[in-house]
Structure 1
Amino acid sequence: MTDLPLSGIRVLDLTRVRAGPTAVRQFADWGADVIKIEVPDSAGGDGGLGGPRKGPDFQNLHRNKRSMELNLKSDAGRAVLLKLAETADVVVENYRPDVKHRLKIAYEDLSAVNEGLIYVSISGFGQDGPYEKRPGVDQIAQGMGGLMSITGEPGRGPMRVGIPVADLTAGLLAAQGAMMALIQRARTGKGQWVQTSLLQAQTFMLDFQAARWLMDGEVAGQVGNEHPTGVPTNAYPTADGYMNAAPAGQKLYERFCHAIGAADLIDDPDYLDGGQRYRNRDALNARIADILKTRTTADWIETLNAAGVPCGPINSIDQTFADPQVQHLGMARAVEDGGPELKLVAQPITLSGSDPKLWRRAGDKGAETGDILAEAGYETDEIERLRRDGVI
Structure 2
Amino acid sequence: MRALDDILVLDLSRVLAGPFCTQMLADLGAKVIKVEKPGSGDDTRGWGPPFLADPETAEKGDAAYYLAANRGKHSVTIDLAKPEGQELIRALAAKADVLVENYKLGGLAKYGLDYASLKTINPRLVYCSITGFGQDGPYAPRAGYDFMIQAMGGMMSVTGEKDGLPGGGPQKAGIAIADLSTGLHAVIAVLAALNQRHRTGRGQYIDLGLLDVQVSMMSNQAMTYLVSGKAPGRAGNGHAAIVPYQAFATMDGHLIIAVGNDGQFAKLADELGHPEWAEDERFALNRTRVEHRDVLTPLIEAETRRYDSAQLLEALERRQIPCGPINTMDKVFADPQAKARGLDQEVPHARAGTIPTVASPLRLSDSPVLYDRGPPLLGEHTESVLTEMLGLDSAMLAALRDKGVV
Establish whether TM, by shorter chain, passes 0.5.
yes
In the alignment, does 2:292 pair up with 1:284? no
Q: Which amino acid aligns with 1:192?
A: Q
User: Which stretch shifts more, 223-232 or 264-273?
Assistant: 264-273
**Which of 13, 16, 24 is the aligned partner of 1:18?**
16
Q: What is the rounded CA distance, in whole Å, between the counterparts of 2:30 and 2:98 in structure 1?
A: 10
Deviation, 1:331, is 1.1
Equivalent residue runs for 1:326-341 within 5 Å: 326-336=338-348, 339-341=352-354
Given that 2:12 and 2:36 are in contact with CA atoms closer than 8 Å, whether structure 1 keeps it comes out as: yes
Q: Deviations over 1:317-347 (max 9, x none)?
A: 1111111101111111111458534111110
- 8 Å contact from structure 2 (residues 95, 122) kept in 1: yes
- Answer yes or no: is 1:160 the counterpart of 2:158: no
Where does residue 359 of structure 1 map in the other structure? Answer: 372
Q: Which residue number in structure 2 is paired with residue 76 of structure 1? A: 84
Which runs of no fewer than 5 residues in structure 2 stay unpaired?
52-60
Shift of 1:160: 0.4
Q: Residue 81 of structure 1: SS of its match in structure 2?
A: helix
Name the counterpart of 2:119: 111
Q: Does structure 2 retain, via aligned residues, the 8 Å contact 1:10–1:33?
A: yes
**Residue of 359, 366, 382 corresponding to 1:346:** 359
Instruction: Report what 2:110 is aligned to.
Output: 102
SS in 1 for 2:377: coil
Tell me the distance in 2 between the aligned counterparts of 1:161 and 1:363: 29
Structure 2 residue 47 is matched with structure 1 residue 32:
no
Alpha-carbon distance in 2 for matches of 1:81, 1:200: 29
| Letter paired with 2:368 | D
Alignment of structure 1 residues 1-392 onto 2, 5 Å:
3-41=1-39, 45-49=40-44, 50-51=46-47, 54-155=62-163, 156-336=168-348, 339-375=352-388, 376-392=390-406
Shift of 1:63: 1.5
The alignment partner of 2:106 has SS state of helix
Q: Distance in 1 between matches of 2:179 and 2:149?
A: 9
SS at match of 2:68: helix
**Contact 1:38–1:48, Cα closer than 8 Å, also in 2:** no
Amino acid at match of 1:128: D
Is the deviation greater in 212-221 or in 358-367? 358-367
Identify the residue that residue 54 of structure 2 maps to in structure 1: none
Range with greater deviation from structure 2 (281-290 or 253-262)? 253-262
Q: Is the 8 A contact 2:132 2:211 kept in 1?
A: yes
Q: Which letter does structure 2 place at the counterpart of 1:15?
A: S
Q: Distance in 2 between matches of 1:357 and 1:134?
A: 38
* Contact 1:15 1:48 (8 Å CA) reproduced: no
Deviations 1:261-292 (A, max 9, x none): 11011112322322221111011000000001
Shift of 1:250: 1.2
Please, which moves more after superposition, 75-84 or 49-58?
49-58
Corresponding residue SS for 1:142: helix
Letter in 1 for 2:66: F
CA RMSD of aligned residues (A): 1.4
- How far residue 121 of structure 1 moved from its aligned partner, in angstroms, is 0.6
Structure 1: unaligned runs, 5 residues or longer:
none
Deviation at 1:357, TM superposition (A): 2.0
Give the partner amino acid of 1:361.
G
What's the CA shift string for 1:149-185, capped at 9, x where partnerless? 0001111111101000000000110111001101111
1:378 is displaced (CA, Å) by 2.0
- Per-residue Cα deviation, 1:77-134 (whole angstroms, up to 9, x for no partner): 1111111111101110001112111222100111111000000111001111100111
Q: C-alpha distance in 1, partners of 2:336/2:402?
A: 54
Paired amino acid for 1:26: M
1:255 alignment partner AA = K
In the alignment of these two chains, the number of paired residues is 387
Per-residue deviation, 1:62: 1.1
Quote the Cα distance in structure 2 between the aligned partners of 1:345 and 1:380. Answer: 37
Contact 2:15 2:42 in 1 (8 A): no
Residues 153, 223 of structure 1: 8 Å contact kept: yes
CA distance in 1, matches of 2:308, 2:394: 69
Whole-angstrom distance in 1 between the partners of 2:394 and 2:353: 32
Q: In 2, distance between residues paired with 1:248 and 1:47?
A: 44
Return the alpha-carbon distance in structure 2 between the equivalents of residues 72 and 271 of structure 1. 64
Helix, strand or coil: the match of 1:271?
A: coil
Percent identity over paired residues: 36
Aligned equivalent of 2:58: none
**C-alpha distance in 2 between matches for 1:244 and 1:362:** 36
The residue identity in structure 2 corresponding to 1:180 is A
1-structure distance, mates of 2:37, 2:79 = 6
Asked if 2 retains the 8 angstrom alpha-carbon contact of 1:174 and 1:195, the reply is no
In the superposition, the TM-score normalised over structure 2's length comes to 0.92
1:9 and 1:46 mapped to 2: Cα distance?
A: 24
Question: What is the TM-score when the length of structure 1 is the normalising length?
Answer: 0.96
Query: What secondary structure is seen at the aligned counterpart in 1 of 2:353?
Result: coil
Q: Deviations over 1:243-270 (max 9, x none)?
A: 0001132111111111221101111232
**Post-superposition offset of 1:46:** 4.2
